[in-house]
Structure 1
Amino acid sequence: MIEKVRPSRVDIRHPLIRKITVFTVIGVAAASSIVACSSGPDQPQSVAEQFATALTDDDVSAAANLTTDPAAASTAITAMIDGLGEDEGTFTVSEAEQSGDDAGTFTLDAAWNFGEGQDWTYSTHGNASASGDQWLIEWDPALLAPDLRASTTLRYTPTTGAPPSVLDSAGQPVMEQQVVTLVNLEPTADAAAVAALISPIAPTITADSLRSDLAASAGKPITAITLRAEDLAPIEDRLASLPGVMLAPQARLLSVDKALTSPTFTGLSDLWQEGQDKSAGWAVQMVKENGSATTIAGQDGPVAPNIATTIDRNLQLGAENALAGVTQPAVIVALQPSSGAVLAVAQNSAADAQGPIALTGLYPPGSTFKTVTTSAALQAGVATPDTILPCPGTENVEGRQIPNDDEFDLGSVPLHTAFAHSCNTTMARLAVGLPADALHNAGLQFGLGVDYVTPGLTTVTGNVPDANTPAERVESAIGQGTVTATPFGMALVAASIAHGETPTPMLVKGQPGVADQTAAPTPAVVTEQLRTMMRETVTGGTATTLADIDGLLGKTGTAEVDGGPAHGWFVGIKGDLAFAVFIAGADSSAPAVQVAGTFLR
């Protein structure tokens, strides 16, 4: 035992004696701070508690120096912290006893918490012994965790179950998790050699484009392209052999068919990831030097279910093929009127460059909006389908000179004929006498201006403000002025006319959207009259190039825009299919009508 320093009667005022006394006091204090010195019944407990405290505090040096092999202990404790995380584990001594004057045993209880519900607890057993006046922990990696050895380490890892699939309406996978490979280039990479291999897959990637990207990266690596397995396989060995090229595999959710692409896939990917996150579990693994691992603790998460969508693969491919030859931004949105199911949403590459315009791009709907104007007029009682109305080639209505397309002049004709031939002058004159909110309310009856929160789908329908002056109503009546709609919104208008009321959009089966407002449905007699007029548009009006398509109903539209060519529209109904075609800058509705024919045929 270390004796306590007792007060000395020696006169310590003498400098030499004072110096010796101070050294003695300091030396005794230092000796008393030496970890677990001397012997006694509490020494195994003391050294074990100090060891447990140091482990809890992630104090590698303090814990290692309490052992008989500080170097080995330091390596193992550092690896444990690296593998399981800082501040995650708590160690306490539950038992300790001395056996003889220079030996003892103890039990450590460990508790790790890696997050809510992720707890790992266990106990280990160790020995302590006295070496001279100092007690030390006899080093054994199994002190840190059961069965841990010098050749193994511990690792915490989140886990996920088998990745779900995204299914089409027939129950077949349309998107699945696949391995893709990032082709990363160092600044020293030979851009010409890389481009020669990947340009057959991606023609827009050239040696010059790669050099430009590398120059802009400020000396950092760039990702030249991400390749699917089938694209990588023929060139993998040659790419890997190029200096400065690194291939990095990653798991991603992709369409099973490279030809399939849709703005809806973004929202579906988000839903898929939510399912994966909910399926997360956790594991603690014992990792061997060769990298093989054995799970020693943890829990699997729930199985993530497949996502069953309403996408019709054949319609989706048909829509994409119909748009393939269009150079301007072009889209098709197809819905099932009876259920609100989203059957297809397709965009060409020019549209993709502008974002998901099929679902959220707002444009003046032009003459396709005459479906709403005519509905409002019929409901207001200002006309019937057979009412004879003037259709001059051009007319000044409320100070706005309104022309028909190429200023065609039909004279006086029934409303249904004016509708089928898309008489701007007729519609403008009809709208003047309508109430300020008539077009707004008629639009709401067809879902236009309604916002929907739909699982997997982000959409906007459009906006039809009140037209408070006759001049405003003239502009709104022909789908110009402040009236805007998305292709999705106009497809919903067509679906509403087909169904007799607005169906609730749905992309994931059994999960229809929720509307921010509801409107009473259009009277059945009015929707029936509109369907008859839309049929006449195909058989004898502005869409006669589609007359060979049995049972097709439709409405063409050309929408003027400032500073550029007009947009082209076509909305159609065929049985339980409603759709909208939109082509930006088409200059007329003819290209949209042609695309619709390709899509349907």
Structure 2
Amino acid sequence: MFLQGRRGRWALLVACLMAVTACTSVSPTPDAGAAPDAVVAKFVAAWQGLQPGPIAALTSDPGSASEEVGSVFKNLAPTTLAVHTGRPTVTDANTATAAADFTWSLPNGITWKYTANWIFTRTSTGDPWKAQWAATLINPHLGEAQTVVLRTTSATNGAVVDRDNQQILAPITVYSVVALPDKITDLAGTATALAGILGKLDPTVTADSVVAGVKASTPTTGYTVTNLREDDYRTVSAQLDRLHGLSFPSTTRNLPPTKDFAKMLLAQVNPTANKLALGVPGWEIDSIDATGAELDTLAAQAAQPGKNVTLTLDTKVQLAAEKAISLYQDPTVLVAIAPSTGEILAVAQNQPANVLGPIALSGEYPPGSTFKVVTATAAFDSALVTPTTQLECPGAFTIDSRQIHNYHSFDLGTVSVTTAFARSCNTTFAKLATLMPADALTRAASEYGIGRDFVIPGLNTLTGKIPNADSITQKAENGFGQGVDLVTPFSEALMAATVADGRMPMPTIIRGTRTTIDQPVVQRSAAAQSGMRLLMRAVVTDGTASTLQDAGTVYAKTGTADFINAKGVDQAHAWTVGYRGDVAFAVFILAGNSSVKTTKIADFFLKYLP
């Protein structure tokens, strides 16, 4: 009994001590009850969802929060918003804080970053956590009834300039000739008069086009007959003023020196050049009060002016080229390249050529006798001949039943390779090609960039196709540029530049950009380098380009490439390629029929150069 009593008393004592401990327990620890982590995560997700409603619902004052957050979203128009927080810090049983890192992605590439301090509270342990609403939840520098606004300042763009730092596109006043349908009393008479006055400046203006345009227009907008540069407008303004029902609004545009200046070239280059010249707009984010008054600048970045973009184009060379090709009405082009650098100096096309697109850069045509540059190069590379090697130049040469003729079947007998090249002996180079491997001309052409694929920032070009010969007849035809060979005026100019420099230069049009090529550049043989200069000089001193003798020390090769047109008529493309000093050129006339024409253009071009 005694032992049992002691056990009972000990049990009673333990029970009493436990009761006392429970009654005298300390206040709850800071993490008593559910932590706010889940609510913070929901709050972050709501912000990143860019919807004021879900954000406001998690705050202590949904009405105010929805209004102010909505205002900020509206004013900033963010594309995305990233919010990152660490684990919230619980400061007491019903209070926690979290540092929120905001990264706003705004229009025009603007990024705004800062950290806001969020406070979460709850009434008691069992109640849900809420973000304690205050404008500082949005940004630590915002006060009650304040919002933010994004202001931008425009940046000055850089100019597109030529190699001499002359601005290619300069501000020019342009006048529009607008016919007002409700003001014209004699439409037929006005249309005829406009065609007579404006037709020389703009061939698209005809009496019929004016009548059709006016009838289809509205009194509000009228019909724009044409747009004239100020210089042209001044020459006809007095005549136009005598006509009733016209208006002449003007505007300032950035335009090249002449209406068609490097038209096909700039159409390709300008989008890339203009993008490179863009300035970076400035911006600032300001806090404002309910009246819209500015309170403080929360973030800002000054506008950064764009840098000038320099084209390799030489305005003087371009104008000389355009003046030279204006001699002919057939589609005519001229491409000029600096051999020492590969920089493109000029790409000129006349209006008939412009109708066909950028044929100077990507029009593929048979090269005719200019391809003898490649054939001679292949023969030099293989040590088959030297410039003094004696070869036959008969009036005709038959290979596998295919008869090849010289021009008018001229016969020189036995002459040096230099003379055969200068006088353009088809028979000599056809036979020479048959003595070389099937891929000899393909490989030699690649030394000049022909058949290669260039990626030139700002420019799309083609260089032609020189497939391996699949028969001895094709070898012969390819040898003088009448087989399946195709080149472009661009690649012909590059060929001339390669002869001039000794290596193939890498073509460029925008300085500071890098041109790439599909295969490594092939090193040309020393024999080909020296031999081709000798041969091309002989073309001027003793051959088919003697017209160029008084144009300086010129190296050249002429050619015509026969073809049958869509009507079944025999015609020929005309070519002259060459170089003088650090200007290599290729002149091409579609269906020009005689290289005398292209050589005359080359002569004028070289003499027009300063």
Calculate the TM-score normalised by the size of structure 1.
0.70
How many Å apart are 1:493 and its aligned residue? 0.6
Q: Which residue of 1 aligns with 2:564?
A: 562
Q: Is the 8 A contact 1:337 1:495 kept in 2?
A: yes
What secondary structure does 2:446 align onto?
A: helix
What is the root-mean-square deviation in Å for CA atoms of aligned residues? 4.2
How many Å apart are 1:243 and its aligned residue? 5.4
Which amino acid is 1:599 matched to? Answer: F
Q: Is the 8 A contact 2:178 2:247 kept in 1?
A: yes
Q: Which residue of 2 aligns with 1:106?
A: none
Q: Which residue of 2 aligns with 1:174?
A: 168
CA distance in 1, matches of 2:422, 2:146: 83
Percent of aligned pairs with the same amino acid: 35
Which amino acid is 2:504 matched to? Answer: T
CA distance in 1, matches of 2:410, 2:445: 28
How many Å apart are 1:275 and its aligned residue? 2.5
Q: Which residue of 2 aligns with 1:163?
A: 157
How many Å apart are 1:399 and its aligned residue? 2.8
- CA deviations on 1:249-307 (whole Å, 9 max, x unpaired) are 4744x214557334332233113321354634457899xxxxxxxx9986444321111
Q: Which residue of 2 aligns with 1:500?
A: 502
What secondary structure does 2:330 align onto?
A: coil
Q: Which residue of 2 aligns with 1:209?
A: 209
Q: Which residue of 2 aligns with 1:48?
A: 64
Question: Residues 3-18 of structure 1 correspond to what in structure 2 (within 5 A)?
Answer: none
Which amino acid is 1:168 matched to? Answer: D
Which amino acid is 2:581 matched to? Answer: G
Q: Which residue of 2 aligns with 1:589?
A: 595
Change beyond 3 A, Cα 1:226–1:588: same
Question: Residues 291-302 of structure 1 correspond to what in structure 2 (within 5 A)?
Answer: 299-302=301-304
Deviates more, 1:505-514 or 1:197-206: 197-206
How many Å apart are 1:509 and its aligned residue? 2.8
Q: Is the 8 A contact 1:559 1:567 kept in 2?
A: yes
CA distance in 2, matches of 1:176, 1:170: 15
Q: Which of the numbers 602, 606, 609 marks the counterpart of 1:600?
A: 606
How many Å apart are 1:217 and its aligned residue? 8.2
Q: Which residue of 1 aligns with 2:476?
A: 474
- CA deviations on 1:341-388 (whole Å, 9 max, x unpaired) are 212221111111111111111111110000001111222233332222
Q: Is the 8 A contact 1:393 1:403 kept in 2?
A: yes
How many Å apart are 1:495 and its aligned residue? 0.8
Q: Which of the numbers 536, 561, 573 marks the counterpart of 2:579?
A: 573
Calculate the TM-score normalised by the size of structure 2.
0.69
Which amino acid is 1:208 matched to? Answer: D
Q: Is the 8 A contact 1:189 1:245 kept in 2?
A: no
Q: Is the 8 A contact 1:505 1:512 kept in 2?
A: no
Question: Residues 180-195 of structure 1 correspond to what in structure 2 (within 5 A)?
Answer: 180=174, 190=184, 192=190, 195=194
Matching of residue 449 in structure 1 with residue 451 in structure 2: yes
Change beyond 3 A, Cα 1:217–1:531: farther
CA distance in 1, matches of 2:146, 2:211: 52
Q: Which residue of 2 aligns with 1:130?
A: none
Question: Residues 13-162 of structure 1 correspond to what in structure 2 (within 5 A)?
Answer: 45=61, 47-49=63-65, 51-52=67-68, 113-114=106-107, 116-117=109-110, 160-162=154-156
Question: Residues 405-416 of structure 1 correspond to what in structure 2 (within 5 A)?
Answer: 405-416=407-418
Q: Is the 8 A contact 1:491 1:580 kept in 2?
A: yes
Q: Is the 8 A contact 2:340 2:582 kept in 1?
A: yes
How many Å apart are 1:494 and its aligned residue? 0.7
Change beyond 3 A, Cα 1:470–1:187: farther
Q: Is the 8 A contact 2:337 2:584 kept in 1?
A: yes
CA distance in 1, matches of 2:394, 2:263: 43
Q: Count residues with an aligned counterpart.
A: 484
Q: Is the 8 A contact 2:79 2:106 kept in 1?
A: no
How many Å apart are 1:86 and its aligned residue? 10
What secondary structure does 1:571 align onto?
A: strand
- CA deviations on 1:463-497 (whole Å, 9 max, x unpaired) are 11111211221221111222111111001111111
Q: Which of the numbers 304, 312, 329 marks the counterpart of 1:310?
A: 312
How many Å apart are 1:415 and its aligned residue? 1.7
- CA deviations on 1:503-557 (whole Å, 9 max, x unpaired) are 1112223434222212422212222111111111111111112222332111100
Change beyond 3 A, Cα 1:216–1:261: farther
How many Å apart are 1:398 and its aligned residue? 2.5
Q: Which residue of 2 aligns with 1:529?
A: 531
Deviates more, 1:258-267 or 1:191-200: 191-200
Matching of residue 375 in structure 1 with residue 377 in structure 2: yes
Which amino acid is 1:338 matched to? Answer: S
Q: Is the 8 A contact 1:183 1:248 kept in 2?
A: no
User: Structure 2 regions of 5+ residues with no counterpart?
Assistant: 1-59, 82-103, 115-143, 288-295
How many Å apart are 1:444 and its aligned residue? 0.6
Q: Which residue of 1 aligns with 2:406?
A: 404
Q: Which residue of 2 aligns with 1:289?
A: none
Q: Which residue of 1 aligns with 2:345?
A: 343
User: Structure 1 regions of 5+ residues with no counterpart?
Assistant: 1-43, 59-79, 90-110, 122-141, 147-153, 287-294
Change beyond 3 A, Cα 1:274–1:182: farther
Which amino acid is 1:171 matched to? Answer: N
Deviates more, 1:270-279 or 1:571-580: 270-279
Change beyond 3 A, Cα 1:160–1:440: farther
